[in-house]
Structures are given as structure tokens and as C-alpha cells.
Amino acid sequence: MLQKIFIQDFAIISENTIQFGPGFTAITGETGAGKSILLHAIRLICGEKANASMIRLNAEKAVIEATFNITHNTKAKNILDRLEIDIEDELIIRRELLKSGKSRARVNDAVVNLVALQELSETLIQMHGQSEQVLLRDIRTHEQMLDDYCMNHELLENYKTLYNEWSQKKQAAENLKKRATELAIQKDFLKFQFQELSNAKLKLGEEESLEELTSSASKGEVERRFLEDMSRILESENGLLDQLRSFSSKLKQLANRLPQYEINFQTYEALQEPLESFFKDFESIKPDTEISPRELESANTRLAFLQQLKRKYKTDIASLINLKSTREKELSSIENLDSDMKEFQKQISELENQLLVLAKELSTKRHDKAKILDLAVETILHELGMPGARFKTEIQNTPLHSTGIDQVEFLMAPNIGEGEKSLKRAVSGGELSRVLLAFKTVLAELDTTPLLIFDEVDSGISGEVGNKIGEALQKLGKHHQILSITHLHQVASLAQNQLAVKKEEIENRTYSKIFNLDYQGRLLELSRMLGDEHSQTVQEHVKQLLEAAQ
């Protein structure tokens, strides 16, 4: 139950604390006084996005704080427990709107995001206004309302879980079928690539090894050619060795004949021994690597093949090896697709059979309860000033969908002699307001939301019908806390409590204030609604209305 709301610097409300009581509370005031501001503040408490334009002029921030009693609200306590927020019987939700455009939300002093706040508020408040009446014209909401009446929530949740699994299986089967078609078209191409890459017998590091081998062979060839050339210089006929031996002989003969050359001969002899040792060692030198021409040709041919393959596939050897593995798996999957498809179809068929069982159970409950719902809504509509109205729930069979095999639509004939028509065409705004109120009255004992808020549910009606609307809200107040904005004195007089919203100008500033009315305050406010708050006659009439309401 909502106990109080504190509002500060919000729109034209400077500072206001509003206390709320149990049962039905009417909210009244002249047009433009600020009633919608109160509802806007409550919507912010429910997690609606904030707007800095709602901050009062010259204020730094706006504050809205609501206090709830959740002693018996198990759903709210479960959410608080999951959010790891201290659980007490008193729940305080606080929203702060900053001039920067940002806002803060706290629950029992713990910071929460708007998603968590919205989830929590759903266990506390339901707001019904023009938007909810518009939704009632939307056929997609009718099945949900019927299921609420049938208390199909657990059965529907089980069905939806199974339906999602069935849908996913069908989508997976469709994807598999599409993949199979694509692979079948590409099968020859995949087979060709796999065969070509298999025949290539690719190995990681092979290309590097071959390049190293050919590089080594190239260096060995240079070495061999130089050694052979130098060997010919040394050992060929009239080569360097023969020339040196001839030189040595001539120098010796010259030294024998001319003693002054003896020193030259001795110097040469000293050089001759190391030279001969060098030449002897040089003759034993052989190239480090000996690669046969056939081996080198094979390596070059293999390298050329690998380069050609890389250019063809525009990738490296490692990726080609991976591609071969991929093609092998794809070819294997083509072979297994038939068996996979059969397994999918088997699973889909089993799930569909289970779905049909649950869908038929849902449909049976809807058909059985629809007649009871129709009678209950129709009875309340008669009480709300529509004595000739007939209400009917039409249920048509459909293929399996996310909520069963039914399409539900509410039909109504507002007057005697008219056939039932869709709510989107058959009723006026005022009539639709009464249909919405009738539904909430019928669902009152099933609905566990503590606070229901109605925004001008009596719009477009007057007179005796207003009394009926007030009585319906009064009855709802036995099961819920009710807040209803109204312009009808007939409705307001039947409320257990009454709030008045008033606007005034003080020193060129506009202020809106919300008051809890005592008996005398209600007497004056209801008299104002009747046209003259100072008229004794009017006040006497209001006293009679209040006494009758009690």
C-alpha cells in the first residue's frame, strides 16, 4: 500500500507531502491545477525516464520519494532479496532529477537502475489511463486479459518454454536444410579442392626446408666453381706450381754462377716450404655440401608447385592445410545431413505433439471461462449505465503460435438490437472506460497488485452513470488501494478519502498544492464541483451524498 509521497521542486509543485489511506481515494481539482503532475511523479517512481524540463525553475534538482507498506507483498520482497537490498515492511523509493538531465534512483537507500525499478514497481502499482483504454482496442491484449481471468499463467509459461524450444528446433532444421542445399550445389567443387589439397601432401615447414636446401645448393655451386678454377691455376700444364718450380730452378742456377744471388735463393727456399704446405692443404679442400642435380631439380620443382598453389588459393601453406581439413568436414557433413534432418524432424514432431496437448488444455480453459467472464463483465456494464449492452468473447482456432491455438477478441453491442462488434469500432471513449473498469472489477480478487490508479476513467459520462462508476471503484477499494482522478462529484462523493489539487499565484510564481481533505474540506470541494461551494443548498446536497456514501 502507498502510504505517502514527498515531492520537491517538481514542475509547479514547490514542496508537498501527501498522505494516502486505504480503499478508494478520489483526486479532484480544477483543470490545470496539477493533478497530472501527481500522476507523472508516480510514473517516475515506477521507473519512467526522467526529463530535466520537469525541474522547477531556479531549482537545482527535483526530488520524489514514495513510501510503501509491503508487509504482505511477497513478490516485492523476493525482488528486493534478489537485488540484495535490505528487506523491511516499509519500502522507500526515491528519484532525483538533476539539471544535467541525469537522474538517480534509490530503493531503501540502495542505488538501482530503471529496469530494476520498473520490475519492482509492477508488484506495487498499476496505472490505468487513456493509454490502457487504447490498449483495450488492440486485439492482441484480449487473450492476455482472458488468460489473467483463467489464471493460466503457469500453464502458459510452460507452453511458451516448450514453444520456444520447438521454434528453435524448426529454425535449426531450416538452417540445416538451407546449408544442405548450398553444400549439395558445391559438392563437386568441394570434392575437387579436397582432392587437390590431399594430393599436394602439404606439410608445415616444408617450404622453408626446401628454400634452405636450394639456397645451400646455390652457395655450394659457387664454392665448387671457385675451387675448380683455382685448382686449374695451380695444377694445369704450365700452371702456377710448374711456374714456381721453374722459377726455383732458374734462381738456383743463377745463385751457383753468381754468388750475390745466393741470398735471394735462400730467401726463396724459406718461402717455398710453407707455400708447398699451403698448396698441399688446398688440394684437399672439398665443397661443404654435395647436392645431386636430380635432388636440386626435385626441390625446385616442388617449390614452384607450392608457389603456384599459394597463388591459386591466395593464401599460405598453413591456411591451405586448414582448408583441406574444412573441406573434409564439409564433405563428411553432406553425407550425415540426411540422418541429421531425420533426427531434427523426429524431435520437432515430438515437441509439436506436446505443444498441441498444452495448447488444447489452454484453449479448453479459455472456452470454459470465457462464458463466465462475458456474463460477469456484462452484468457490471449493466450496473454502469449500459443496461442493453451485450459482451462476448470470440475465440477462433488458429495454427500453433506463441500463446496456443486461439485468437481471442472481445466483442460488444452497446445497445439492444445491435450485433456484437470489435471494441476498436463498436464503442466510444466513455463506453470503453466502463469496459476497462468492468474488467478490473471482475479481476479484482485475482489481481495481487496493491495499488490501482485510474486517470479519468469516468471521462465522457455524467449523471447516474457517474454513481455507478463510483460504486464500482468503491467495490474495487475492498480489494485494492484505489486512486482515481475524477471531475464528477458523484464519483468523488463515494470515495473513502479525497485529495484536492489547487493552484495559486504568490509573488508572480505559480504553486500547485495537494491537500488531504477532512469532512469540511470535502464538503467545500464537492460543492465547488457542483458549481457553488458557498451555497447552503448545494452543501446540504453534498452532505446527503456523503452520508449516502457512508
Statement: residue 433 has pLDDT above 90 = no
Burial of 200 (C-beta count, 10 Å sphere; 0-12/13-18/19+): middle
Q: What phi, psi does 316 have (nearest 5°)? A: -95, 180
**What would the mean pLDDT of 274-294 be, rounded to a whole number?**
70
Three cell numbers, residue 273: 716450404
Strands (E), 362-437: 390-401, 404-413, 421-422
Domain locations along the chain: 1-124+449-517, 183-335
Q: What is residue 359's predicted lDDT score, i.e. its pLDDT?
A: 96
Burial 506-518 (b: 16+ CB within 10 A, else e): eeeeebbbbebbe
What CATH topology corresponds to 1-124+449-517? Rossmann fold (3.40.50)
Q: What is residue 231's predicted lDDT score, i.e. its pLDDT?
A: 77
**What would the mean pLDDT of 332-336 be, rounded to a whole number?**
71
**Per residue in 478-522, pLDDT tens?**
889 999 999 899 899 999 999 999 999 888 899 999 999 999 999
According to DSSP, the β-strands at 110-111 and 103-107 are antiparallel
Q: What is residue 494's predicted lDDT score, i.e. its pLDDT?
A: 93
**Per residue in 162-203, pLDDT tens?**
999 999 999 988 888 887 777 777 777 888 888 888 888 888
Residue 172: count other Cβ atoms within 10 Å of its Cβ. 14
Statement: residue 131 has pLDDT above 60 = no
According to DSSP, the β-strands at 103-107 and 90-98 are antiparallel
**What would the mean pLDDT of 397-423 be, rounded to a whole number?**
88
Report CA torsion sign: 266, 268, 271, 272: negative
Question: Which has the higher per-residue pLDDT, 41 or 129?
Answer: 41
Q: What is residue 500's predicted lDDT score, i.e. its pLDDT?
A: 95
Confidence of residue 138 (pLDDT cuts 50, 70, 90): confident
Q: What is residue 344's predicted lDDT score, i.e. its pLDDT?
A: 83
Cα 54 to Cα 62: distance, rounded to the nearest angstrom: 8
Cα angle 223-225-230, degrees, rounded to a multiple of 5: 95
Three cell numbers, residue 137: 482496442
Q: How far is CA 296 from CA 200, 202, 214, 286, 291, in A?
A: 19, 19, 7, 19, 7
According to DSSP, the β-strands at 451-455 and 125-128 are parallel
**Per residue in 204-231, pLDDT tens?**
888 887 777 776 666 666 667 776 777 7
Statement: residue 374 has pLDDT above 90 = yes
Statement: residue 116 has pLDDT above 90 = yes
User: pTM here?
Assistant: 0.63
Three cell numbers, residue 99: 539539471
Three cell numbers, residue 269: 727456399
Q: What is residue 16's predicted lDDT score, i.e. its pLDDT?
A: 95
Cα 134 to Cα 140: distance, rounded to the nearest angstrom: 12
Q: Which residue has the cell 483526486?
A: 27
Q: What is residue 275's predicted lDDT score, i.e. its pLDDT?
A: 79
Three cell numbers, residue 325: 581439413
